[in-house]
Structure formats: C-alpha cells, structure tokens
Amino acid sequence: MDGQYLPISEAKVSVLDWGFLHSDATYDTVHVWNGHFFRLNLHLDRFFRGVERLRMKLPFARSEIELILKNCVALSGHKSAYVEMICTRGTSPTFSRDPRQAENRFIAFAVPFGSVATKEQLERGLHIAISDTVRIPPESIDPSIKNYHWLDLVKGLFDAYEYGAETALIVDINGNVAEGPGFNVFLAKNKQLKTPAHSVLPGITRQTVFDLCAEVGLSAIAADVSRDELKDADEVFITSTAGGIMPVTRIDNTSIANGQVGRVTRQLMDLYWKKHADPAWSTPVLYP
C-alpha cells in the first residue's frame, strides 16, 4: 500500500479514508491455489469495471496491478492464498466533502487461503438459515460493483446463529432468495441448475459453475428462486472464491433431499478443483 510492500501487521489505513468512514470503496478477491491464481483475468475485469462505475481512478495500470498482486503473494510465500485488491475513495487533502476532490487509494494484500466452510462442513454439507433480512436493492447500490455494504449480510448471520444454523442466506425485495455473506447459491432439481438472478454479486465462482455446466452438458440458468423452491431442491450448494463450491444439506429445519451431499454437487466440486491446474484458467506466481 502507498507504494510499498509491508508485513500484513503493519498495513494500516487512515481513519479519514472514506473507504473506512463511508464504505466508499470497491474490491475484488481472487485465490491462489498450489502457487497459481485462479481466473485472475475475470477478477481483474470485475475490479476495473467497479472502479470505473464508482468514478475512481487507480494510480496503476492493469499490468502493474497484476504484478503487485503476484509480488504480494510471492513475498508472503503462501502457496494457497486469499488475495484482495481494493480501491478506496481515499482522503481529500483539504477536508472537502466533495468526492471528486479525494485522492483514491489502491491497496492489495495476500493472506492464507480461507474458506466459508470447514473441512467437516464440506464433507457433510452446510446448515443454512434463510433470514428475512432484505439485501440492499440494486436500485440503491449496483451489486455488480463488489462492495463492503455488509450490514444486511451480518444481520443475516446473527439471525442464522440464533436459529442454530452455520451461515445465512438473505432475500431480495420480493422475498426471493438472494445471496449470503460472501457467496452465491445454486439449486439442482431434475438435473437443472438455477441460481438467483437479482440482488446478487455476479460471482466469479458462480460464472465458473455456468462454464463447468456447459462443459459437462448440464443446464444452468439465472432466475428467481423462492425459499420453498430451494428447500424442495434435489441438491443445494453455495459458491465463493473463499472455498469454491460448497454443499448445503440443510436449510432452516428442512433436510435437502436425503440430507447427503448430492452427485451433481460432487461432480462440479471435483471438476472445479481439477480446473485449477488448467493453464487456460490459472496464472503462476513466481516465488523467489
């Protein structure tokens, strides 16, 4: 950050940064697995789109940002990492309230790979509760700009914990299922896959599921998903850069089908991790 590489414990932002004060920021998270970034170009595309839509200016070109991300991982030494790139509104040197006067700031960091689901949860499937909390509507904040407006998702998580579940899904303004804290959701019914179309971040892992389905001849669509439809599915899984494709076997107090991780989910999970070794979808980190 601010032109230097630092140990993560020394990387600190100003309390005056509007990224901190107003969540006026966009970011992206890509993971590194076995020394390779996964689908880095798609993450950079989404990040640059968000920066442009928020009318921010990055102090680096795309090729420079790619190099900074690689350097962060190489210097950290992590072979499997969670890598975040952030652009904040920054601060105004004159304390102006006009966002056009702010000097935008770029920050990147690499920390060890983390997952939404533990190893045990990946094996037996997650238990999710659907909270009544409504995701910030797209009319207020464009969800395709990856953002830190998470108070609705955090409220959903507390609702889920109170219910005795392990994580949460929240709903869109019409009461259909939207997304969870850092993940999208899919259902499979009669070998047809479906994921919510509205009020969601278009996740790169979600896109990867569409790509994998096309490869193996499964049909996948984005459309409204009601709570009942989700609970009545043959299989449910969530998707995130933080964990990949993760099975769900219980929603509220309903078991999904027979309560076991399903065949389509397993097939897609296997393929997803295999694809991490495909040069078309991965970029090597050059460690010193």
Place of tokens 């230097």: 4
Q: Note whether 240 binds ligand PLP by CB under 6 A.
A: yes
- Check residue 172 and report its DSSP letter: -
Buried b (16+ CB within 10 A) or exposed e, 33-63: bebbbbbbebbbebbbbbbeebebebeeeee
Helices and strands, counts by H and E, the chain: 8, 13
Tell me how far, at minimum, the Cβ of 86 lies from ligand PLP, in Å. Answer: 13
SS3 content of the chain, % helix, strand, coil (to 5): 30, 30, 40
CB-based contact 128:230 (threshold 8 Å): no
For ligand PLP, the closer of residues 106 and 186 by Cβ is 186
- Stretch of 55-63, 74-82, 83-91, 238-246 contacting ligand PLP, by CB under 6 A: 238-246
For ligand PLP, the closer of residues 141 and 223 by Cβ is 141
Angle at 219 between CA 216 and CA 225, to 5 degrees: 135
Tell me how far, at minimum, the Cβ of 178 lies from ligand PLP, in Å. Answer: 9
For ligand PLP, the closer of residues 91 and 203 by Cβ is 203
Looking at 73, 204, 209, 246, which residue binds ligand PLP (CB under 6 A)? 204
For ligand PLP, the closer of residues 18 and 272 by Cβ is 272
The rounded distance, in Å, linking the Cα atoms of 76 and 287 is 9
Per-residue mark of binding to ligand PLP, 134-173 (x: CB under 6 A): ----------------------------------------
Looking at 69, 165, 201, 209, which residue binds ligand PLP (CB under 6 A)? 201
CB-based contact 172:135 (threshold 8 Å): yes
Tokens for 109?
Answer: 């960091």
Residues that bind ligand PLP (CB under 6 A): 29, 179, 182-184, 201, 203-206, 239-241
